[in-house]
Amino acid sequence: MRSIPDVCEVEFVRGVRAGDVPDLLLEVPHGATRAAHYDRVVGALRGSFPANLRDFFFVNTDVGAPEVAQRTAELFVAADPTRSALVVRCLVPRTFVDCNRVIDVDAKPRASAAGEVTPGVQPWVRDPHDIALLLGRYRAYRELVEESADRICGAGGHMLMVHSYAPRSIDVAVDEHIVERLREAYQPERITTWRLRPPVDLIVDTPDGVRLASPQLMARVQQRLTAAGYDVVLNGAYNLHPMTLAAATAARHPGRTLCLELRRDLLVHSFTPFAEMHVDPQKIERIARELA
Protein backbone atom coordinates (compact mmCIF):
# COMPACT_ATOMS: atom_id res chain seq x y z
CA MET A 1 0.00 0.00 0.00
CA ARG A 2 1.29 3.45 -0.95
CA SER A 3 0.41 7.00 -0.01
CA ILE A 4 -2.04 8.77 -2.35
CA PRO A 5 -1.42 12.50 -2.86
CA ASP A 6 -4.15 14.66 -1.24
CA VAL A 7 -5.94 11.50 -0.06
CA CYS A 8 -3.82 9.72 2.54
CA GLU A 9 -0.38 9.09 3.92
CA VAL A 10 0.61 5.45 4.37
CA GLU A 11 3.50 4.51 6.67
CA PHE A 12 4.81 0.94 6.91
CA VAL A 13 6.65 0.41 10.20
CA ARG A 14 8.51 -2.87 9.85
CA GLY A 15 10.67 -4.89 12.20
CA VAL A 16 13.93 -6.29 10.86
CA ARG A 17 12.55 -9.86 10.92
CA ALA A 18 8.94 -9.09 9.97
CA GLY A 19 7.00 -10.74 7.17
CA ASP A 20 5.32 -9.03 4.25
CA VAL A 21 1.84 -8.79 5.80
CA PRO A 22 1.55 -6.32 8.71
CA ASP A 23 0.26 -7.56 12.06
CA LEU A 24 -1.53 -4.32 12.84
CA LEU A 25 -3.40 -1.66 10.86
CA LEU A 26 -3.86 1.75 12.46
CA GLU A 27 -6.40 3.94 10.65
CA VAL A 28 -6.92 7.66 11.25
CA PRO A 29 -9.92 8.69 9.07
CA HIS A 30 -9.95 12.26 10.39
CA GLY A 31 -6.21 12.73 10.02
CA ALA A 32 -6.36 16.11 8.24
CA THR A 33 -5.54 18.12 11.36
CA ARG A 34 -3.27 20.95 10.19
CA ALA A 35 -4.26 24.30 8.73
CA ALA A 36 -2.27 23.38 5.63
CA HIS A 37 -4.53 20.37 5.02
CA TYR A 38 -7.60 22.60 5.03
CA ASP A 39 -6.01 25.30 2.89
CA ARG A 40 -4.81 22.79 0.31
CA VAL A 41 -8.25 21.30 -0.33
CA VAL A 42 -9.93 24.72 -0.37
CA GLY A 43 -7.45 25.73 -3.05
CA ALA A 44 -8.71 22.86 -5.22
CA LEU A 45 -12.41 23.69 -4.78
CA ARG A 46 -14.49 26.18 -6.78
CA GLY A 47 -17.53 26.76 -4.60
CA SER A 48 -18.16 29.43 -1.98
CA PHE A 49 -18.38 28.47 1.67
CA PRO A 50 -19.63 29.98 4.95
CA ALA A 51 -17.51 32.69 6.49
CA ASN A 52 -14.99 31.39 9.02
CA LEU A 53 -15.57 27.76 8.01
CA ARG A 54 -11.92 27.22 8.92
CA ASP A 55 -13.01 27.64 12.56
CA PHE A 56 -15.25 24.60 12.20
CA PHE A 57 -12.33 22.65 10.76
CA PHE A 58 -10.16 23.37 13.80
CA VAL A 59 -12.81 22.42 16.34
CA ASN A 60 -13.98 19.32 14.48
CA THR A 61 -10.84 17.44 13.43
CA ASP A 62 -9.02 14.70 15.32
CA VAL A 63 -5.95 16.54 16.55
CA GLY A 64 -3.48 14.14 18.18
CA ALA A 65 -4.92 10.98 16.64
CA PRO A 66 -2.31 10.74 13.82
CA GLU A 67 0.55 11.15 16.28
CA VAL A 68 -0.88 8.56 18.67
CA ALA A 69 -1.32 6.08 15.81
CA GLN A 70 2.20 6.63 14.47
CA ARG A 71 3.89 6.36 17.87
CA THR A 72 1.83 3.31 18.82
CA ALA A 73 2.96 1.59 15.62
CA GLU A 74 6.61 2.43 16.34
CA LEU A 75 6.47 1.12 19.90
CA PHE A 76 4.50 -1.99 18.87
CA VAL A 77 7.20 -2.92 16.36
CA ALA A 78 10.11 -1.91 18.59
CA ALA A 79 8.97 -4.46 21.18
CA ASP A 80 9.34 -7.37 18.72
CA PRO A 81 11.43 -7.34 15.50
CA THR A 82 9.10 -9.89 13.89
CA ARG A 83 6.22 -7.40 13.95
CA SER A 84 5.12 -4.75 11.49
CA ALA A 85 2.34 -2.16 11.39
CA LEU A 86 0.65 -0.08 8.72
CA VAL A 87 -0.52 3.46 9.55
CA VAL A 88 -3.07 5.09 7.25
CA ARG A 89 -3.73 8.80 7.81
CA CYS A 90 -6.52 10.40 5.81
CA LEU A 91 -5.74 13.87 4.42
CA VAL A 92 -9.30 14.78 3.36
CA PRO A 93 -10.83 17.27 5.86
CA ARG A 94 -14.14 16.09 7.26
CA THR A 95 -15.18 19.74 6.98
CA PHE A 96 -16.12 18.88 3.39
CA VAL A 97 -16.50 15.09 3.17
CA ASP A 98 -16.28 12.61 6.04
CA CYS A 99 -14.17 9.59 5.12
CA ASN A 100 -15.52 7.73 8.15
CA ARG A 101 -18.91 7.41 6.48
CA VAL A 102 -20.51 4.95 4.10
CA ILE A 103 -21.25 7.26 1.16
CA ASP A 104 -23.14 6.20 -1.95
CA VAL A 105 -21.88 7.23 -5.38
CA ASP A 106 -24.93 9.48 -5.85
CA ALA A 107 -24.78 11.02 -2.35
CA LYS A 108 -26.04 14.58 -2.00
CA PRO A 109 -24.89 17.23 0.48
CA ARG A 110 -27.17 17.55 3.48
CA ALA A 111 -27.39 19.17 6.90
CA SER A 112 -27.91 17.27 10.14
CA ALA A 113 -29.94 18.10 13.22
CA ALA A 114 -28.45 18.34 16.71
CA GLY A 115 -27.56 14.88 17.98
CA GLU A 116 -27.67 13.23 14.54
CA VAL A 117 -24.73 11.48 12.92
CA THR A 118 -23.12 14.14 10.76
CA PRO A 119 -23.47 13.66 6.99
CA GLY A 120 -20.97 12.21 4.54
CA VAL A 121 -21.01 15.30 2.32
CA GLN A 122 -21.43 18.57 4.17
CA PRO A 123 -24.32 20.88 3.19
CA TRP A 124 -22.13 23.75 1.98
CA VAL A 125 -20.50 21.62 -0.74
CA ARG A 126 -22.72 22.40 -3.74
CA ASP A 127 -20.54 22.90 -6.79
CA PRO A 128 -20.67 19.76 -9.03
CA HIS A 129 -16.91 19.94 -9.59
CA ASP A 130 -16.30 20.02 -5.85
CA ILE A 131 -18.66 17.13 -5.14
CA ALA A 132 -17.00 15.01 -7.82
CA LEU A 133 -13.49 15.85 -6.59
CA LEU A 134 -14.27 15.13 -2.94
CA LEU A 135 -16.15 11.90 -3.62
CA GLY A 136 -13.29 10.74 -5.83
CA ARG A 137 -10.86 11.25 -2.97
CA TYR A 138 -13.26 9.55 -0.58
CA ARG A 139 -13.54 6.48 -2.82
CA ALA A 140 -9.75 6.25 -3.18
CA TYR A 141 -9.36 6.39 0.59
CA ARG A 142 -12.10 3.88 1.28
CA GLU A 143 -10.74 1.41 -1.26
CA LEU A 144 -7.27 1.59 0.27
CA VAL A 145 -8.59 1.10 3.81
CA GLU A 146 -10.80 -1.82 2.79
CA GLU A 147 -7.97 -3.51 0.91
CA SER A 148 -5.62 -3.01 3.86
CA ALA A 149 -8.15 -4.33 6.38
CA ASP A 150 -8.94 -7.35 4.22
CA ARG A 151 -5.27 -8.16 3.85
CA ILE A 152 -4.26 -7.66 7.48
CA CYS A 153 -7.35 -8.81 9.38
CA GLY A 154 -7.87 -11.60 6.88
CA ALA A 155 -4.41 -12.93 7.77
CA GLY A 156 -5.16 -12.92 11.50
CA GLY A 157 -4.00 -9.39 12.29
CA HIS A 158 -5.88 -6.58 13.99
CA MET A 159 -7.02 -3.06 13.18
CA LEU A 160 -7.11 -0.04 15.49
CA MET A 161 -9.24 2.94 14.41
CA VAL A 162 -7.87 6.00 16.20
CA HIS A 163 -9.92 9.15 16.82
CA SER A 164 -9.85 12.11 19.16
CA TYR A 165 -12.84 14.12 20.29
CA ALA A 166 -13.44 17.53 21.87
CA PRO A 167 -13.56 17.61 25.68
CA ARG A 168 -17.28 18.33 25.82
CA SER A 169 -20.20 16.84 23.94
CA ILE A 170 -21.71 19.78 22.08
CA ASP A 171 -24.80 18.84 20.09
CA VAL A 172 -25.72 21.49 17.54
CA ALA A 173 -27.16 21.34 14.06
CA VAL A 174 -24.57 21.08 11.29
CA ASP A 175 -25.74 23.57 8.67
CA GLU A 176 -24.79 26.95 7.19
CA HIS A 177 -24.76 28.47 10.69
CA ILE A 178 -22.45 25.89 12.29
CA VAL A 179 -19.67 28.36 13.15
CA GLU A 180 -22.02 30.79 14.88
CA ARG A 181 -23.65 27.93 16.81
CA LEU A 182 -20.29 26.59 17.98
CA ARG A 183 -18.94 29.98 18.99
CA GLU A 184 -22.06 30.53 21.07
CA ALA A 185 -21.72 27.06 22.63
CA TYR A 186 -18.09 27.76 23.56
CA GLN A 187 -18.86 31.02 25.37
CA PRO A 188 -17.43 30.87 28.93
CA GLU A 189 -20.87 31.02 30.53
CA ARG A 190 -22.13 28.12 28.38
CA ILE A 191 -19.24 25.75 27.80
CA THR A 192 -19.42 24.10 31.23
CA THR A 193 -23.10 23.27 30.72
CA TRP A 194 -22.15 20.67 28.09
CA ARG A 195 -21.31 17.15 29.28
CA LEU A 196 -17.62 16.44 29.86
CA ARG A 197 -16.56 13.38 27.91
CA PRO A 198 -14.44 10.58 29.39
CA PRO A 199 -10.72 10.51 28.59
CA VAL A 200 -11.05 7.27 26.61
CA ASP A 201 -14.13 5.86 24.90
CA LEU A 202 -13.99 2.42 23.28
CA ILE A 203 -16.56 2.20 20.49
CA VAL A 204 -17.34 -1.51 20.42
CA ASP A 205 -21.08 -2.13 19.84
CA THR A 206 -23.69 -1.41 17.19
CA PRO A 207 -26.80 0.62 18.16
CA ASP A 208 -28.54 -2.74 18.64
CA GLY A 209 -25.93 -3.88 21.13
CA VAL A 210 -24.08 -6.30 18.86
CA ARG A 211 -20.41 -6.39 19.83
CA LEU A 212 -18.15 -6.28 16.79
CA ALA A 213 -14.86 -5.25 18.42
CA SER A 214 -12.05 -7.63 19.27
CA PRO A 215 -12.75 -8.81 22.83
CA GLN A 216 -9.03 -9.33 23.44
CA LEU A 217 -8.03 -5.86 22.24
CA MET A 218 -10.91 -4.24 24.12
CA ALA A 219 -10.04 -5.96 27.40
CA ARG A 220 -6.31 -5.31 27.15
CA VAL A 221 -6.67 -1.66 26.16
CA GLN A 222 -9.23 -1.08 28.91
CA GLN A 223 -7.01 -2.74 31.51
CA ARG A 224 -3.80 -0.96 30.48
CA LEU A 225 -5.29 2.52 30.16
CA THR A 226 -7.27 2.20 33.39
CA ALA A 227 -4.12 1.13 35.23
CA ALA A 228 -2.34 4.15 33.74
CA GLY A 229 -4.92 6.46 35.29
CA TYR A 230 -7.30 7.05 32.37
CA ASP A 231 -11.04 6.73 32.84
CA VAL A 232 -12.17 4.28 30.14
CA VAL A 233 -15.81 3.72 29.11
CA LEU A 234 -17.56 1.67 26.45
CA ASN A 235 -19.81 3.39 23.88
CA GLY A 236 -19.98 6.53 26.00
CA ALA A 237 -20.31 9.14 23.26
CA TYR A 238 -20.93 7.00 20.18
CA ASN A 239 -21.55 3.49 18.94
CA LEU A 240 -20.65 1.69 15.73
CA HIS A 241 -23.37 3.42 13.73
CA PRO A 242 -24.15 1.73 10.39
CA MET A 243 -23.52 5.04 8.60
CA THR A 244 -19.83 4.87 9.55
CA LEU A 245 -17.02 3.17 7.70
CA ALA A 246 -15.76 2.00 11.11
CA ALA A 247 -18.95 -0.02 11.60
CA ALA A 248 -18.80 -1.45 8.08
CA THR A 249 -15.18 -2.49 8.57
CA ALA A 250 -15.85 -3.97 12.02
CA ALA A 251 -18.79 -5.96 10.62
CA ARG A 252 -16.62 -7.18 7.75
CA HIS A 253 -13.97 -8.35 10.23
CA PRO A 254 -15.80 -9.18 13.48
CA GLY A 255 -13.54 -9.65 16.46
CA ARG A 256 -10.53 -8.13 14.66
CA THR A 257 -10.94 -4.38 15.14
CA LEU A 258 -11.17 -1.77 17.86
CA CYS A 259 -12.35 1.84 17.46
CA LEU A 260 -11.44 4.33 20.15
CA GLU A 261 -11.83 8.02 20.97
CA LEU A 262 -9.22 9.89 23.00
CA ARG A 263 -10.09 13.21 24.60
CA ARG A 264 -8.29 15.91 22.68
CA ASP A 265 -7.27 18.10 25.60
CA LEU A 266 -5.26 15.13 26.92
CA LEU A 267 -3.16 15.08 23.73
CA VAL A 268 -2.34 18.75 23.10
CA HIS A 269 -0.43 21.50 24.87
CA SER A 270 -3.56 23.64 25.03
CA PHE A 271 -7.08 23.04 23.76
CA THR A 272 -7.84 26.02 21.50
CA PRO A 273 -11.04 25.08 19.65
CA PHE A 274 -11.00 27.74 16.92
CA ALA A 275 -7.29 27.74 16.16
CA GLU A 276 -4.68 25.21 15.11
CA MET A 277 -3.67 23.02 18.05
CA HIS A 278 -0.28 21.43 18.69
CA VAL A 279 0.25 18.04 20.27
CA ASP A 280 2.23 17.51 23.44
CA PRO A 281 4.84 14.81 22.71
CA GLN A 282 4.90 13.66 26.33
CA LYS A 283 1.13 13.17 26.36
CA ILE A 284 1.28 11.30 23.07
CA GLU A 285 4.07 9.06 24.36
CA ARG A 286 2.22 8.23 27.57
CA ILE A 287 -0.92 6.94 25.90
CA ALA A 288 0.87 5.34 22.92
CA ARG A 289 2.99 3.22 25.28
CA GLU A 290 -0.12 1.77 26.87
CA LEU A 291 -1.79 1.14 23.50
CA ALA A 292 1.33 -0.50 22.10
Give residue-wise pLDDT tens across range 14-59: 999 999 999 999 999 999 999 999 999 999 999 999 889 999 999 9
In the chain, domain spans: 8-291
C-beta of residue 142 within 8 angstroms of C-beta of residue 245: yes
Residue 1 pLDDT: 80
Task: Note whether 283 and 267 are within 8 A (CB).
Answer: yes
Rounded to whole angstroms, how far apart are CA atoms 169 and 183?
Answer: 14
Sheet with 232-234: list strands edge to edge: 8-14, 84-90, 24-28, 158-165, 257-263, 200-203, 232-234
DSSP state of 118: P
The reported pLDDT for the residue numbered 257 is 98
Task: Work out the mean pLDDT of the chain and round it to a whole number.
Answer: 95
Q: What is the mean pLDDT of residues 151-174?
A: 95
For residue 114, the model assigns a pLDDT of 73
Fold of the 8-291 domain = Aminopeptidase (3.40.630)
What per-residue confidence (pLDDT) applies to 184? 95
List, for residues 117-129, the tens digit of each pLDDT value. 888 999 999 999 9
Q: 32: buried, middle or exposed (CB in 10 Å: 19+, 13-18, 0-12)?
A: buried
Total-model pTM: 0.96
For residues 159 and 175, which has the higher predicted lDDT (pLDDT)?
159
Least trusted range by pLDDT, from 9-23, 103-117, 141-155, 236-250 = 103-117
Residue 203 dihedral angles phi and psi, to the nearest 5°:
-95, 100
Question: 198 CB contacts (<8 Å, ≥6 apart)?
Answer: 231, 232, 233, 236, 237, 263
Q: How many CA atoms lie within 13 A of 292 on its CB side?
A: 22
Residue 92: pLDDT band with limits 50, 70, 90: very high
To which H or E segment does residue 258 belong?
Answer: strand 257-263
Which residues have C-beta within 8 Å of that of residue 282, sequence separation ≥ 6? none
Look at residue 292 and tell me whether its pLDDT is greater than 80. yes
Each residue's pLDDT tens digit, 178-199: 999 999 999 999 999 999 999 9
Q: Please, which pLDDT band fits residue 209 given cuts at 50, 70 and 90?
A: very high
pLDDT for 110: 80
- Nearest C-alpha neighbor of 88 from the set 5, 144, 35, 135: 144
- pLDDT surpasses 80 at 116: no
> Does residue 210 register a pLDDT over 90?
yes
Average pLDDT over residues 247-272: 97
Q: Please check the confidence at residue 112 and state whether its pLDDT lies above 80.
A: no
Give dist(CA 140, CA 134) in Å, integer.
10
Instruction: Judge whether residue 108 has pLDDT over 90.
Output: no
How far lies 30's CA from each of 58, 98, 138, 198, 260, in Å?
12, 8, 12, 20, 13
pLDDT of residue 111: 75
Q: Is 250 helix (H, G, I), strand (E, B) or coil?
A: helix
Mean pLDDT of the 248-259 span: 97
Q: Of the candidates 225, 270, 262, 276, which has an alpha carbon nearest to the alpha carbon of residue 67?
A: 262
pLDDT, position 12: 97
